[in-house]
Structure 1
């Protein structure tokens, strides 16, 4: 029987790192060990394939650790209310006040029914429907959680009803009457705007639609599934006061044409509604050799300016005649939360178009220092509500850091990056831009230069006339 040694032939016994083999094993033992390892790695490959298959249904993710490290955990974690299973274990501690509000909202919805029997039937129908959808619901979450059984069903029903009631009560189409039972919750609404848009704080949108249709039908309210979409978009539009009011109306009209919604959850609904219609109609992919442009300070040296423009979405950025046209964006706590969580979703969800990721990279390129923020503020492109300009610059630089992006797929600003870089490389534009800065930005210098030129021309003309007069007199 052949004996296999674990030491290597030709290894010098005088080597300083030489160690005596721990043991010697037979060919049978070696084959057995190899077979065992091959089986183990094959199982790992199967797990990888299973995870890839589940990736087609997953849409509610844990935020990537590198993003939490860069931007801080707090921006991705709820402050007031827990939705879904990821923060369920903190409900009776950190979110106890919100849990009381949930029960009040759910009770407020039930008491709209005529009698106790109908209330009982509504609750029963909701639990049964969620039970039927439980497998599909669980497939939507990328991380495992311990909530199960009736506790899971009740969590989904109560959370869905809570979101629906808050949206219905505090949307812009409804004025909160001080006599209504839920009016006392109005002070919490700004927190709900933010917490409802967290990636880790979501339930599937089809759960919201199912519960919405069951409860409204039982309450004899004539609604369709599109009513929830309208209400949700208007609710968040009310919270984003600095955005154009027609952004969500424009998108909801397109959703209403088919009466269908492909949104995966509330965050994805708002994200989809902000995607520029201009790029949706055209091919979003534009091959580009660069995903980098210089900051505003350097672009200005090359004669490139930034100008505000009205658009349906702040993502609709264009480059025309040496001018970057940017819709106004309000940098506040809600926008910071929305932008970072949309980027986190796009980084995890392989089937999503990377609109917010590209926009974050674009802002990061434009802004290096607080001076860049100051210029964009003066141009009415950015409204800074975070404090001083250095804080806004720091947020933008962090938002665009270490993002994974394939420039050949989904880079909707590819043409803009290419055209800006091409313009930047034209050195003669630098000289003209320098002339503009020196003279056009300072009118007195321009007038002084023009006066000097006129004086030189007049003097030259006078000299020529004197010479001609002298010449013809001698003739």
Structure 2
């Protein structure tokens, strides 16, 4: 049976159908490529963020340069060649021996640790130093941090070997080692106290900024800082606003009730200055986290416009442990200036 011209036209694929099929195939292929790309970026971004050791923004180093670089002990690659930290490198070997006393009980000797660190090194961007030096640095630094924190928190009384400057150095943003390296080493230790690494670290730093045990893992909400002007302490008191010290579990628990500004007491010293500077720097480098410290400093710097304001806050018990001329407290104003600058360039 022969087909007529009209029959040939009937079995010819419609151009619209062809175009629709091509568009559907193209759309499906591009969707798949997009999904594959997103998955790849998620994996690489996650890895990159976990190994990143941030640099402090230059504006903050101008406020207080001595809170940025380590004074005694260097952690990580940035400051390891400074003359002031070289002497302490010898002490890290003692902490390595101490940590090995834990790992050997679990069959994890130095050879296994080196192999594990070498595997991690291949996934890290170790461009500042050689691979062998990088592995040694990661082992010594992580063993020192874990050994120091474990010894410090496992004694009822403050240990005789504790050095306040070392604790400050461990707070510094540029003086860090990637957290997953500490996790790997801590898992090899398998300490008997059962604490997670996060809890161990919180207990360690909690000794300097004490809180109740049940509050150590909780977070207090801090309202975002407003650009709206807040008067300084002197002007607030002239306006009839009272300022009172309150007991709180966090220095961020600030309230205003019945014409009274309620503020927890805080000690301003070398430790808290280092803490604030580096936490603000971290908030600047990681914009996805809440800016608790930046908001607090912005608020306090509004209250402080002169040394008289500092004196009044000291008399009310809000600020303690400051120098006789009150000049050290004025670093709050310097930090606030930087926060304003960073807001405008963000």
Alpha carbons 2:224, 2:295 under 8 Å: kept: no
The DSSP-based 3-state class of the residue aligned with 1:312 is: coil
* Alignment partner, residue 338 of structure 2: 402
* Alignment partner, residue 211 of structure 2: 245
Stretches of structure 2 that go unaligned for 5 or more consecutive residues are 1-40
Stretches of structure 1 that go unaligned for 5 or more consecutive residues are 1-49, 139-143, 178-182, 255-274, 408-475
* Alignment partner, residue 99 of structure 1: 89
**CA distance in structure 1 between the partners assigned to 2:204 and 2:287 by the alignment:** 28
The DSSP-based 3-state class of the residue aligned with 2:70 is: coil
Alpha carbons 1:75, 1:337 under 8 Å: kept: yes
Alpha carbons 1:377, 1:383 under 8 Å: kept: yes
Alpha carbons 1:309, 1:326 under 8 Å: kept: yes
**Shift of residue 345 of structure 1?**
1.1
**CA distance in structure 2 between the partners assigned to 1:136 and 1:389 by the alignment:** 51
| 1:340-393 per-position Cα deviation (integer Å, ceiling 9, x unaligned) | 1111111121212111011111111000111111111111111033x1243133
Using a 3 Å threshold, how does the CA distance of structure 1 residues 392 and 114 change in structure 2: closer, same or farther? closer
* Alignment partner, residue 131 of structure 1: 118
**CA distance in structure 2 between the partners assigned to 1:159 and 1:197 by the alignment:** 14
Instruction: State yes or no: 1:74 paired with 2:61.
Output: no
| 1:32-55 per-position Cα deviation (integer Å, ceiling 9, x unaligned) | xxxxxxxxxxxxxxxxxx9xx859
Using a 3 Å threshold, how does the CA distance of structure 1 residues 331 and 306 change in structure 2: closer, same or farther? same
**Shift of residue 124 of structure 1?**
2.4
**Shift of residue 111 of structure 1?**
4.3
The DSSP-based 3-state class of the residue aligned with 2:182 is: helix
The DSSP-based 3-state class of the residue aligned with 1:102 is: helix
Alpha carbons 1:102, 1:162 under 8 Å: kept: yes
* Alignment partner, residue 236 of structure 1: 205
1:68-467 paired onto structure 2 within 5 Å: 68-69=61-62, 71-90=63-82, 93-111=83-101, 121-134=108-121, 137-138=124-125, 145-171=127-153, 173-175=155-157, 186=161, 188-216=162-190, 221-222=191-192, 224=194, 226-238=195-207, 240=208, 243-246=209-212, 249-252=214-217, 275-276=219-220, 279=221, 284=223, 290-385=227-322, 387-404=323-340
| 1:303-357 per-position Cα deviation (integer Å, ceiling 9, x unaligned) | 1121111111101111111111111100111001001111111112121211101
Alpha carbons 1:295, 1:367 under 8 Å: kept: yes
Whichever of the two has the greater Rg, that structure is: 1
Alpha carbons 2:72, 2:169 under 8 Å: kept: yes
| 1:230-255 per-position Cα deviation (integer Å, ceiling 9, x unaligned) | 322222222x2xx4431x64133x5x
| 1:102-159 per-position Cα deviation (integer Å, ceiling 9, x unaligned) | 01111233245669x95xx422222232333336554xxxxx8512312111211111
**CA distance in structure 1 between the partners assigned to 2:277 and 2:200 by the alignment:** 24
- The higher-RCO structure (CA 8 Å, 6+ apart) is 2
**CA distance in structure 2 between the partners assigned to 1:114 and 1:399 by the alignment:** 47
Aligned residues: 300
- RMSD, aligned α-carbons: 2.9
Alpha carbons 1:244, 1:313 under 8 Å: kept: no
**CA distance in structure 1 between the partners assigned to 2:154 and 2:307 by the alignment:** 35
